[in-house]
Amino acid sequence: MPATISSTSTVDTILPEYARRLGAYTGSFSTTTTVTTNTSVVSTGLTDRGFSVDDILNDFYIRITSGNNDNAIRRISDFTGSSGTITVTGTNLSADSGTGTTFEIYRYDPNLLLDTLQSGAQSAFPSLYVEINDRNTTLGQSQQLYPRPTSIPPGYVRQISVEPRIDAKSYGSNIVGTLNCDFENSTIATDWTASNITLAAEEETTGPDNFMVYAGTQSGKCTTNTTSTSSVGTLLMTVPSGTNYVGEEINVGVWVYSRTASRVSAAIQFDSDGVSLGSTHSGLGWERLTHTLVADGVSSSIKVGISVTASSSFVLYIDEIVVTAGQSEIPRVPINKIFGWREEGSSIRIFGGISQDRNLLVRGMGMLDFTQVSTTGSNTVELNQSQRRMLYNYAAMELFQGEIDTIDSTEQQEALNRFNHFRNRVNERIGSMSPIAMVRNTAI
């Protein structure tokens, strides 16, 4: 999810909870015979729970939630009640090392349930939304038109503010503040290690001002050398005394200018582990890329910077990296609200003069996005109980509307009754969120 609403839920809790509301959740069980390389799953717990009749679970779905088949979803083709043996469709399962593999049984395909959660989330907007606070744009001299964040639908920008920039070198909590964090060193590559990136100095000019220098007298000009499929580019600096921060949350914020979208990300690397990636650049100019990672088990080093995916080469610019340890987020500074603004299509127009040394904060309402919540159960969506129930009601309407459109006439009435039941629950508006207040001069 792009933002927080309240108590955290994963797919492992949301999916059964939603299915229970539909009457489509049979239960959770554990294997009593080790899964081998075949299509059988055995649990005497099924028989103990009363599923003793042959074929009673045929055409239901099993979702395995642990072991070597974790997150596998299969349709049940046969069930033997006396032994609690499920036979699934598809290829052989992978063998487990012992019993106790957990699994769930559903009346509907769990993938279909997740799809209806996604479409239900879209239908529930703006009754249910995520608060978006987008800080990825820097103000330009005499510039009035700025891109509306794609995470905020048209008409749902609510407030615009400006934030003074944080000076990377002088900010006291910047744990790389003693290094070339502002790219002002006469030798631009000092403290930086580049892989498949050529780093050069980009000098500030006046008349005209060089917009490629974010702050100070120079920035880093990065030419990527990432044309082969394996040529991921990185530009990283090593945090001094990195092992001092074991167990602490590491927050990175770095300003990057790019007109190529979805290629550049903030990056953190612990020891010689793989590089962990944070927010990705939209390709719309100067943006502050961020990443957060807890430094568990660090034994030698913490490296921070950017990573570029392998594809055609291009040029980007980098400046002002701030890294904090222990804090819960990248530092912010006091904001000043703007009242003279309006949306214009995919853009936001800001009237009046604003200092160039400011960052734009766009606050608005975004849609819940279940495409980011996979069946792995590790991704999270954050909703309180009333909000989850409203979401389930919308999702159930999508599910039963689909059934009405596809089943024969003898079963349509039952699906219609269920659709109407959940539509009535939606109309009660229990769980609906109050919109974010609009703050602007509406006369503009």
Q: Per-residue DSSP letters for 308-340?
A: E-SSS--EEEEEEEEEEESSSS------EEE-S
Q: Are 79 and 126 in contact (CB under 8 A)?
A: no
CA distances (Å), 137 to each of 22, 50, 71, 193, 348, in order?
43, 60, 39, 27, 12
**What value, to the nearest 5°, has the Cα angle with vertex 345 and ends 340 and 349?**
25
Q: How many CB atoms lie within 10 A of CB 30?
A: 14
**What value, to the nearest 5°, has the Cα angle with vertex 12 and ends 6 and 15?**
85
Q: What is the mean pLDDT of residues 203-213?
A: 89
pLDDT score of 208: 86
pLDDT score of 3: 35
6: pLDDT strictly greater than 50: no
Token duo for residue 369:
């996005």
62: pLDDT strictly greater than 50: yes
In the Cβ-directed half-sphere of 292, how many Cα atoms lie within 13 Å? Answer: 9
Written as one letter, the residue type at 386 is S
Reported confidence tier of residue 5, pLDDT bands at 50, 70, 90: very low
CA distances (Å), 130 to each of 5, 149, 255, 363, 365, in order?
6, 14, 25, 11, 6
Using CA atoms, how far apart are residues 365 and 368, in angstroms rounded to an integer?
Answer: 10
Task: Kindly give, in sequence order, each residue whose CB lies less than 8 Å from that of residue 386, ignoring residues fewer than 6 positions away.
Answer: 430, 431
End-to-end CA distance of the chain: 33
Q: Are 176 and 237 in contact (CB under 8 A)?
A: yes
Q: What mean pLDDT is reported for the chain? A: 90
3-state secondary structure of 122: helix
Using CA atoms, how far apart are residues 242 and 250, in angstroms rounded to an integer?
Answer: 10
Using CA atoms, how far apart are residues 62 and 391, in angstroms rounded to an integer?
Answer: 24
Written as one letter, the residue type at 383 is L
Using CA atoms, how far apart are residues 102 and 428, in angstroms rounded to an integer?
Answer: 37
pLDDT score of 333: 73
For 17, the enclosing helix (H) or strand (E) is helix 11-22
47: pLDDT strictly greater than 70: yes
Counted residue by residue, the chain has a size of 444
Q: What is the mean pLDDT of residues 286-301?
A: 93
CA distances (Å), 64 to each of 119, 147, 373, in order?
24, 44, 17
pLDDT score of 336: 87
Reported confidence tier of residue 360, pLDDT bands at 50, 70, 90: confident
218: pLDDT strictly greater than 60: yes
Using CA atoms, how far apart are residues 72 and 69, in angstroms rounded to an integer?
Answer: 6
pLDDT score of 135: 79
pLDDT score of 4: 33
Q: Are 270 and 295 in contact (CB under 8 A)?
A: yes
Strand 315-325 and strand 8-10: pairing? unpaired
Q: Are 253 and 268 in contact (CB under 8 A)?
A: no
pLDDT score of 357: 61
For 223, the enclosing helix (H) or strand (E) is strand 218-224
Reported confidence tier of residue 375, pLDDT bands at 50, 70, 90: very low
Exposed, middle or buried: residue 233 (CB in 10 Å: 0-12, 13-18, 19+)?
A: buried
Token duo for residue 397:
């309407």
Distance of alpha carbon 98 from the chain centroid: 34
Nearest CA among 217, 215, 417, 393 for reference residue 321: 215
pLDDT in tens, 15-36: 999 999 999 999 999 999 999 9
Q: Is 427 left (phi over 0), alpha (psi -120 to 50) or beta?
A: alpha
- CA atoms 271, 277, 279, 282: torsion sign: positive
- CA atoms 19, 20, 22, 27: torsion sign: positive
Reported confidence tier of residue 358, pLDDT bands at 50, 70, 90: confident
